[in-house]
Chain A
Amino acid sequence: MKTLRETIIIAIRDAAEVRGSAVASELTDGTVLLQSGLDSLGFAILVAQLEEDLGYDPFTMMDEPYYPRTLGEFVAVYERFAPKS
């Protein structure tokens, strides 16, 4: 079973591929998403792909709009809104 973090990293690479851009070979918590090879449309594709994989889109669930800057922040958002099982 893949961890949430692994699922997100795979989705980032797929989204970058759809956009025809290359992602930095190593992604760390400190990697700035919009400098990792994803543009804003790539970011949108990533969120749509994750909604398909995980069943939720945290950005539609927030009361206050918040856009994570780094990979670490991004993973944290998905953790925070993950459905309680």
Chain B
Amino acid sequence: MPPLSHRLSEIEDGSDVWCSPTLGRITGKELRSVLSVLDSGVYRGRRVAIGVMPSVELLATLVLLDGVAETIIILPPEEEPEARARRLSGCAVDHLLEDGGVGFVKGLLALRSSVGAEVAGEKTVSLEKAHGTSPLPTAWMLPTSGTTGVSKLIRHTSETLTRGMAGRRSCSDFIWGSLYSFWRFAGLQVFLQSWTSMTTLIVCDEAEGFDRRVEWLASLGCSALSATPSMWRKLAMWPEFNRFALKQITLGGEIADQPVLDMLRRRFPSARITHVYASTEAGVGLSVKDGMAGFPVSFLKEPPGDVRLAVSAEGHLLLRPPSSDGSADREENEWTDSGDVVQVRGDRVMFLGRANGSINVGGDKVMPDEVESVIRELPEVVFVQVRAKRSSIVGNMVEAAVRLGPGAVLTQEMKKKIVAHCRTRLEAFKVPSVVVGLEEITLTSSGKLSRTKL
């Protein structure tokens, strides 16, 4: 796959590549002009770490460095200074870029002032020169979400990251938006999808907060949005959600259950709704477009993409990505355990939850996701978080924290209704022992529902 910057020559001068609340519309001409005067030669063959900087700067840095640097190391932005220093010394980094990055935003602002126009005319260091005759196969080291401890760095290339993405034609009129951080696998997927299909991407910074970003996405005309099911449920509670005119809805990062898919279908009847199963470790495993939870059991025999799927004896989903040389068949022991528990129900493979995320109730294992999806079947419930509650008697009990729709109050009767509903649908030990109100909805840095008790 050619480096990302090869796309630059194909972008029309007047088209909006990125749209940022602070920088406005960044056109193809501006992007080319600024990137062409930035000297990327110093990064050639080097290991470059990327810390905290504006999102637009990150994206420009990635375009500039792909094919130039030996390795791009994306540092988890929320990491503590000490942990980061340890990571940096372990990675043998040649350059650490943060704050101003490669100087794209600065260059853009200079270009937009009269001074900059002259500067841009004088300097002629081109990207082709920096690439030399042969672009390097730049490795991208991406941080995992680190929900189970220290975030690990996983090796990718722009090729593994764009595997299975839709081509230019199918989404040429989309304006992409992301509620994910661009420092994460899921956010980078959105960036690369918009980049490879050459459509506009709305770039917001996470620091602006959820509500502010949603407002911008709506007012800047976002028509293709990627978010976790928890983010979508949170969005649905936002009064101006109806302002969105979505054509493409993507869910990922958590289990997409039937109620959230149905809710989105009702709100956006003509949108294409895709739920993807992906992880930083394995890349994109599969995507499902039929609006139904889980995936067809036929995928186990005939995978829709080039990642093969299987279910282990313990019920874990196994993945086998294609080998780097492209040959489909590899040894049996190269299956990767996703750590996600699945169950075949009829012609569908359903996700139950993370194998290590279970709540141990007196020796029986309960998947919070499974209980959550049952509680969400009740129309009164708009948000639910199932978590462990310490018990002096059985170790842990299942606690359901729920948020009801406007006007509804969590009465004793409602609590009983929730428990009674669970009893009809779940084995006895999975039924929540305690139902409480959910005061605040906390999502992790990767947009997943936080199960840490508030």
Cβ-defined contact, B392 with A57, below 8 A: yes
Cβ-defined contact, B419 with A59, below 8 A: no
Interface status of A71 (Cβ within 8 A of chain B): no
Cβ-defined contact, A44 with B433, below 8 A: yes
Interface status of A19 (Cβ within 8 A of chain B): yes
Neighbour of A48 across the interface among B361, B391, B420, CB < 8 A: B391
Q: Which residue of the partner chain B has the closest CB to A18?
A: B419
Cβ-defined contact, B392 with A47, below 8 A: yes
Cβ-defined contact, A44 with B423, below 8 A: no
Interface status of A78 (Cβ within 8 A of chain B): no
Within 8 A of B (CB), among A26-85: 40-41, 43-45, 47-48, 57, 59-60
Cβ-defined contact, A48 with B423, below 8 A: no
Number of cross-chain contacts by CB at 8 Å: 44
Using Cβ atoms and an 8 Å threshold, which residues of chain B touch A44?
362, 391-394, 397, 433
Q: How far is the CA of A20 from the CA of B393 in the complex (A)?
A: 19
Cβ-defined contact, A18 with B393, below 8 A: no
Interface status of A17 (Cβ within 8 A of chain B): yes
Q: How far is the CA of A47 from the CA of B392 in the complex (A)?
A: 8
Query: By the criterion of a CB under 8 Å from any partner CB, how many residues of chain B are at the interface?
Result: 17
B interface majority secondary structure: mixed
Q: How far is the CA of A48 from the CA of B392 in the complex (A)?
A: 9
Interface status of B428 (Cβ within 8 A of chain A): yes
Cβ-defined contact, B433 with A18, below 8 A: yes
Q: How far is the CA of A20 from the CA of B361 in the complex (A)?
A: 17
Q: How far is the CA of A18 from the CA of B434 in the complex (A)?
A: 9
A-binding residues in B (CB < 8 A): 361-362, 389, 391-394, 397, 416, 419-420, 423, 428-429, 431, 433-434
**Beyond known contacts A44-B362, A45-B433: 10 more, CB 8 A cutoff:** A18-B433, A20-B431, A41-B362, A41-B397, A41-B428, A44-B391, A44-B433, A47-B391, A48-B389, A48-B433
